[in-house]
Amino acid sequence: MLKILAARFQQGFRTIGFPDKPPTIPDRLRGLPVIRPDQCRQSCQLCADVCPTGAIIPGVNGQKLQIDLGRCLFCGACAEVCQTGAVSFSNDPRLAVRQREDLVVGGSGIKLAKELDCKMFGRSIQFRQVSAGGCNGCEVDINVLTTVVFDLSRFGIKIVASPRHSDGLLITGPVTSNMKSATLDTYEAVPTPRLVVAVGTCAISGGIFRDHAEQNNGATELLPVDLFIPGCPPHPITILDGLLRLIGKIKEP
């Protein structure tokens, strides 16, 4: 017992101060893209050619260069290949939005998620996690939110075992054919009003598996998604930031 107490004393308080204090994010994290359409050479399309998921909307035919974060894998290939610096990545992890179209970003940044209109979820919210063919990357980053470092439950947010005890779903993965009916049945088992959060690029658009015959391009076309959290996988702070915005515990841009 004394050893346990000594270890606790030595380790101190491990939970991060986010959202009251800014999180510590490594410089190498690829977060919100920085797009400079005025520096785009327009005709080269090197970024669009190298993108594995068709996430780049090239600056041609009078259109400005944009990236669809709902398809982006944050692999960084577009930034590496761009010879004019028109595409680069910041380490800003704030990426969650309420509308699918808000994930298409250009030179003016991103329109981050706003609070739910329904106040019912303000004080406590429970989610059932559905891994609908995910690779376990997004699932791990959700799971890590329940550890002492992030301590998700201090915000009244919990992951529960049964959809009947939950207020909504956290869906990961492209929703494979084998998981489609399980995902829809789990959604039906959640009492109304219910939420759907698509976590990760696969759940938003199918990601690297997009248009493959054995999946459904994510949850977006199957269910009414209330929050889109892009990333492959999203950083835990990206997920936490999105959930806190959804329930109104982060309001500023």
The binding site for ligand SF4 (CB under 6 A) comprises: 50-53, 55-56, 67, 72-78
Q: How far is the CB of 218 from ligand SF4 (least distance, A)?
A: 15
Q: Closest distance between ligand SF4 and the C-beta of residue 242, in Å?
A: 19
Of the pair 89, 127, the CB lying nearest ligand SF4 is at 89
| Least Cβ distance, residue 73 to ligand SF4 (angstroms) | 4
Residue 53 phi, psi dihedral angles, 5° rounding: -120, 10
Q: How far is the CB of 103 from ligand SF4 (least distance, A)?
A: 12
Q: Which is nearer to ligand SF4, 50 or 223 (CB)?
A: 50
d(CA 227, CA 96): 7
Report which of 90, 96, 79 is spatially closest to residue 29, judged by C-alpha positions: 90
- The least CB distance from residue 167 to ligand SF4, in Å, is 32
Measured CA to CA in angstroms, residue 100 lies from 91, 95, 168, 201 at distances of 22, 12, 18, 12
Q: Collapsing DSSP states into helix, strand and coil, what is residue 171?
A: strand
Instruction: Please give the radius of gyration of the chain, using alpha carbons only, rounded to the nearest integer.
Output: 19
Cβ distance to ligand SF4 smaller for residue 72 or 113: 72
Q: Which is nearer to ligand SF4, 142 or 232 (CB)?
A: 232
Neighbours of 20 (CB within 10 A): 6
Alpha helix stretches (DSSP H) within the chain: 2-11, 46-50, 77-81, 137-143, 177-189, 201-205, 236-246
Residue with Cβ nearer ligand SF4 (15 or 63): 63
Confirm if 251 and 115 have CB atoms less than 8 A apart: yes
Output 82 or 175, the one with its CB closest to ligand SF4.
82
Nearest distance from C-beta of residue 202 to ligand SF4, angstroms: 13
